[in-house]
Amino acid sequence: MRNPYAYHRRPTRAVASIGHDNVPRVFVNLSQSIITRMEDLTSVGHDYDGATDKWTMRDQSAEFFYMGGRPLPFMAPSGTRQVLDYDTWLTHDDKFYCVPLFDVENYLSEAPRHNVLNVVRCDVSTLSEDLIQRLSGDSTAVLLLSSNARSYYTNMRAACDAMLMQANTTPIIFEHVLQAPSLDEVVLFAATDLGGLFVDGFGDGLMLSVGTQGNMDNALSLRLAFNVLQAARTRMSKTEYISCPSCGRTLFDLQETTSLIRSHTDHLKGVKIGIMGCIVNGPGEMADADYGYVGSGPERITLYRGQEIVQRNIPTAGAVDALIDIIKTDARWIERA
Ligand code: SF4
């Protein structure tokens, strides 16, 4: 029986770089975007330098581009793959780095497949037992599961449970299209619809398409996808800060101090820093942080590594540098690019 208090990732097989022990992968839907130049991929995390003819991937870069029926007119950055509608894939020259997207009907037919990776797109309402069984016997299939229903979370959760009950190990990519009048609502729905699924160990990837007032925004979709994964602690791609809300006990200007620490450390990868206003409750509130910067008296700071005190009551003036030194000692420091 599953322990409800412990994190369990749904067991999945590895298909290409998706599923099993791989971090959840980020897909972007570029099927409606006009992509004609390499520079057009900047919004989804890939920077092209024409002088050196080289691509640079950022910490938050899409790994799979869903291009629909319009493949990229140039070679995709290395380490990425294009997902093409099945008919387009069939006639494309590169049938290895490009992979096909099947609808359910096509997938259940005897249509030719990719040797390594086949993406099957399915609305949750059409996920039948037959389909789950077919997927179970296919070591190349990845399910791109979508739902237009308002009850996105519960529908997805039910589908994941059905697959779990059948001991199916096909990786699942959640597809979600979110349109809302304001950015706040988009962020809220992305968090409530998807966050819980990843926290509960479901999901081997995410294809999020978000927009406000009718305009889809690829850069926002990408950023939000990585933020959902980071908040669910399933893929850390940037520094994370935990700060207390502040109260009468707070011993320093929390906003100013947080911005100062952020300005020195926001380029680090996967480091969690707690910034707490007092030593009475601070250490408890930052229980899962890697490092803690905690007010312990007027103009005094105590620094933590996890829950262990490393430097007690040091002057505020040198405390940020001392925090950086601790991170360096742990070999978790990198210089800013
Ligand atoms: S950590 Fe201390 S200062 Fe911050 S909110 Fe809690 S009690 Fe207040």
Percentage with pLDDT > 90 across the chain: 88
* Residue 183 Cα to ligand 1 middle (Å): 30
Residues having CB closer than 6 A to ligand 1 are 244-247, 249-250, 276-278, 280-282, 285
- The 3-state secondary structure of the chain, one letter per residue: CCCCCCCCCCCCCCECCECCCCCCEEEEECCCCCCCCHHHHHHHCEEEECCCCEEEECCCCCCEEEEECCCCCCCCCCCCEEEEEHHHHHHCCCCCCEEEEECHHHHHCCCCCCCCCEEEEEEHHHCCHHHHHHHHCCCCEEEEEECCCCCHHHHHHHHHHHHHHCCCCCCEEEEEEEEECCHHHHHHHHHHHHHHHHHCCCCCEEEEEEEECCEECHHHHHHHHHHHHHHCCCCCCCCEEEECCCCCCCCCCHHHHHHHHHHHHCCCCCCEEEEECCCCCHHHHCCCCCEEEEEEECCEEEEEECCEEEEEEEEHHHHHHHHHHHHHHCCCCCCCC
CA-279 nearest atom, ligand 1: 2
CA-250 nearest atom, ligand 1: 3
Amino acid at 286: M
Closest CA to 291 of 255, 237, 329, 337: 329
Confidence of residue 288 (pLDDT cuts 50, 70, 90): confident
Mean pLDDT of 317-335: 95
So what's the pLDDT on residue 149?
Answer: 85
So what's the pLDDT on residue 77?
Answer: 95
* Residue 252 Cα to ligand 1 middle (Å): 11
Residue 198 has pLDDT above 90, yes or no: yes
* Residue 289 Cα to ligand 1 middle (Å): 16
Q: CA-CA distance, 67 to 99, in Å (whole number)?
A: 10
Q: In what side-by-side order are the strands of the sheet with 308-315? A: 240-243, 272-276, 291-297, 300-305, 308-315
Mean pLDDT of 12-41: 96
Q: CA-CA distance, 178 to 189, in Å (whole number)?
A: 8
CA-294 nearest atom, ligand 1: 1
Q: Rounded to two decimals, what is the model's pTM?
A: 0.85
The answer to whether the beta carbons of residues 180 and 222 sit under 8 Å apart is no
Cβ count near 151 (within 10 Å): 11
Confidence of residue 2 (pLDDT cuts 50, 70, 90): low
* Biggest CA-to-CA distance, the chain: 73
Residue 194 has pLDDT above 70, yes or no: yes
Residue 328 has pLDDT above 90, yes or no: yes
Two tokens, residue 189: 């729905």
Closest CA to 178 of 204, 212, 202, 154: 212
pLDDT tens, 205-239? Answer: 999 999 877 678 999 999 999 999 999 989 988 89
Q: CA-CA distance, 7 to 81, in Å (whole number)?
A: 30
Mean pLDDT of 31-46: 95
Contacts of 53 (CB under 8 A, 6+ apart): none
Percentage with pLDDT > 70 across the chain: 99
Q: CA-CA distance, 69 to 71, in Å (whole number)?
A: 6
Query: Greater confidence, 75 or 270?
Result: 75
* Residue 190 Cα to ligand 1 middle (Å): 29
Residue 1 has pLDDT above 70, yes or no: no
Nearest CA to ligand 1 atom 5: 246
Q: CA-CA distance, 276 to 21, in Å (whole number)?
A: 34
Mean pLDDT of 271-286: 93
Residue 295 has pLDDT above 80, yes or no: yes
Give me the chain's average pLDDT, please: 94
